[in-house]
Amino acid sequence: MTLADCKRSSPDLWFMPDESTKHRRTWMAFGPSEKIWGDLLPDIRTNLALLAKTILEFEPVTMLVRPEDRMIAAQLCGECVELIEAPLDDLWIRDTGPVFVVNSAGKLGAVDLNFNGWGTKQAHKNDAKVARFVAEKSGAAYMKSVLVGEGGGIEVDGHGTAILTESCFINKNRNPKLDNAECEQELKNLLGLRAIIWLPGVRGKDITDGHTDFYARFAGSGTILAGLESDRKSFDYRVTREHLNILQSARDADNRNLEVVTLESPRRIRRKLETKEFAAGYINYYVVNNGVIAPEFGDKQTDAHCKQMLAKLFPNRKVVQLNVDAIAAGGGGIHCATLHEPLPSPNNR
């Protein structure tokens, strides 16, 4: 089914709801391999199981798994995590899976952003098919975009405003022939957007080229939680301050000023699993039904501040912090390893 077909068959256009709306479930992928993860493989599998079991306290979890890894996934995750066999290259289902959309008639849609290994940086033959696979298993209307991108590069407030990084979408390794305006038009049509705030991001420094979900997240309509890098030697030090200036002067789809609050990165981390790609930031949290799941890095001061800030911004949700250093060692975070499937209803906007 094409996007045009879906528009003709739906009483309303599709739109991407905010992550804090009710979920039907969380999707994950038990997909790390020794070829990519090396000696970290046992640790990353343990981290994925810990994350899945924590999410289970709030909502159902469906985990994709290779047939040959099913037994170890079942042992680590327990019987309450639903396992579905599928070919996989890696675990980053936020990027490989579809972007879920809904309409006011209570229908669920799934947008395929044509995952290409973050600009052909990693083998992705199997992961390129995950979006369609998840769409079929969820019973969603499947829509294929003309864009190449990833779900981790899109942050929305559920009311027509999105934050994107140019380093991801306006990049020759993904959309070489598209400019901002053309990219905006496609995403507005697909996701029901009316305003897009562009952040520059950083190209070529990490495998994602600077995903939005490591820089800025909506914490309810009108409020943005922005990451602030504390290490002056980091490539993100300057750009996070540039992002802050942009966000503080931005307006949402209803032409309102936005409240911007910041979370500084940890000043120290546990060294056991430290790698060159280690992603030490708090912005990559995940909002679940009645909860928020966030990382902790062993810095008592910044870990505590993160928990206090999330508790303040999400007052009716339980904030749980996890040691997911193996996931961070692979250059990702909790949000990157999860994908929320919204529960469609006529009132979910």
User: Rounded distance, CA 279 to CA 52, Å?
Assistant: 20
Tell me, what amino acid is at 255? N
Rounded Cα–Cα distance for residues 48 and 52 (Å): 6
Cα–Cα–Cα angle for 102, 178, 17, rounded to 5 degrees = 15
Catalytic residue check, 77: no
DSSP H/E element including 114: none
- Tell me the C-alpha distance between 63 and 339, whole Å: 10
CA distance 82 to 88: 16
Q: Helix, strand, coil shares of the chain as percentages rounded to 5?
A: 35, 20, 45
Cβ neighbors of 340 (< 8 A, separation 6 or more) are 19, 23, 26, 27, 100, 286, 287, 288
What's the Cα-to-Cα distance from 44 to each of 11, 47, 77, 103, 293, rounded to whole Å? Answer: 44, 5, 13, 36, 17
Catalytic one of 77, 168, 183, 336: 336
- Cβ–Cβ under 8 Å, residues 335 and 294: no
- What 3-state DSSP class applies to 212? helix
The residues annotated as belonging to the active site are: 336
